[in-house]
Structure 1
Amino acid sequence: MTGDETFQRPYGAPIAVALTGASGAQYGVRLIECLVAAGREVYVMISKAAHRVIAVETAFDLPAQPERLAEALSALCRAGPDQIRCFGREDWMAPVASGSGRWRALVVCPCSTGTLSAVACGASNNLIERAADVALKERRPLILVPRESPLSAVHLENMLKLTQMGAVMLPAAPGFYHQPQSVEDMIDFIVARVLNQLGIEQTLMPRWGE
């Protein structure tokens, strides 16, 4: 079982969040912030390419060293003690590297097409890819948030393959029926969808019909 009832931790079952080298790191950081606000423990992995994108696209100061990264994210997201844990690219002793590790789900947000391809073929060349492989083999929720346009046949084939394996493809394609007034509103549209998939209550976006 991987539900919250199996965990005796202050913040419940940990949720793993990985940011890879696609545009849209804001989605991932906002997701971490919302998970923290919901009282969840969060395991964070940020790829080398993602750090480069973050430096170009955002004003976030996120160090590469895991302990310093955890401190920076904890301050940014107003996390409690040990609520955010960060792991390096080759930290094979991290909980997410094994099916026996205690964690509930993995969200790759944003998910680069390179990561998409690696996960689809089970490459497991780094901790993010291995965590996705573990999620698939253990039948744990795996949510991938690709941000690419246009999509090639290779991208679409990988998405179909992963969907057939049980992963959820949730492209970073915000809607407009809620009449967004800011970039933050558009970010929240996608983050709300991710939280809904995780079964975590959210107030970012009303559910249809409510």
Structure 2
Amino acid sequence: MSRTPSLDVKRERVTVALTGASGVQYGIRLIECLITLGCEVSVLVSKAAQVVIATETEEKWPSDSQRLQEVLCQRFNASSEQIKVYGRENWMSPVASGSGAPHKMVICPCSTGTLSAIATAASNNLIERAADVALKERRQLILVHREAPYHEVHLQHMLTLTRMGALVMPASPGFYHNPKTVNDMVDFIVARILDQLGFDQSLMPRWGEAV
């Protein structure tokens, strides 16, 4: 999947949260790529995301965080040190505190409800709290929003988050690479996320590169 990484990825820790928007394939593929790169990945899954995963994919993700961690380790051929799954109210997890949280977080897909909660610092669950930590600690936060169209409040919240340092990155796949499958379109977005995170990737050629 990857050429030589641009960072010492074996020491990179990334939080990936999946929320209840359509497009969980983006988040699942992102986790797979980060594991392939050697990252340590903290996985957060909302209750709504569990419903979407069951609806949009053939995967079976248990609601129990410990069992889910075992399933994902097996799914991605990773060790228990590489994938950590935390429940929605696990306030003692590293991602809940600025002293222990990774320096990079991606919410993929990001529902409009989650985006709004983060913009208002609601912190009602671990996903929202982890994002709030990323913002207050001036760490990298990418929100892969997956809903359309937008009304005024959606746009106001996107502007608020952008001004706070987050990157709002709607899942808008391009077509200039002539995608042949749905997986090609998923990889387009995941490649852009990896670029933003600072990882070298070979999922998708950049504009101007030979295909």
TM interval, short-chain normalised: over 0.9
Confirm or deny that 1:33 pairs with 2:32: yes
Deviation at 1:31, TM superposition (A): 0.2
What is aligned with 1:140? Answer: 139
Poorly superposed stretches of 4+, deviation over 6 Å: none
SS at match of 2:15: strand
Aligned twin of 1:12: 11
Letter in structure 2 aligned against 1:64: S
**Whole-angstrom distance in 1 between the partners of 2:76 and 2:176:** 28
**How far apart, CA to CA, are the structure 2 residues paired with 1:81 and 1:69?**
11
Structure 2 distance, partners of 1:197, 1:34, is 14
Give unmatched runs, 5+ long, in structure 2.
Answer: 1-6
Distance 1:31 1:103 in 2: 16
CA distance in structure 1 between the partners assigned to 2:85 and 2:123 by the alignment: 18
1:42 corresponding residue in structure 2: 41
What does 1:52-71 align with in structure 2 at a 5 Å threshold?
A: 52-71=51-70
Aligned residues: 203
Tell me the SS of whatever aligns to 2:107: strand
Instruction: Check 1:34–1:206 CA distance in 2 against 1; reply closer, same or farther (3 A cut).
Output: same
Does structure 2 retain, via aligned residues, the 8 Å contact 1:11–1:83?
Answer: no
- Farther-moved stretch of structure 1 (65-74 vs 33-42): 65-74
Residue 3 of structure 2 corresponds to none
TM-score normalized with structure 2 length: 0.93
8 Å CA contact 1:13, 1:102 repeated in 2: no
Aligned residues with identical type, % of pairs: 62
Conserved 8 A contact 2:70-2:80: no
Q: Deviations over 1:134-191 (max 9, x none)?
A: 0000010000001101111111111111001100011011010000000000000000
Q: Please tell me whether the aligned partners of residues 69 and 80 of structure 2 are also in contact (alpha carbons under 8 angstroms).
A: no
**Contact residue 53 and residue 59 of structure 2 kept, 8 A:** yes
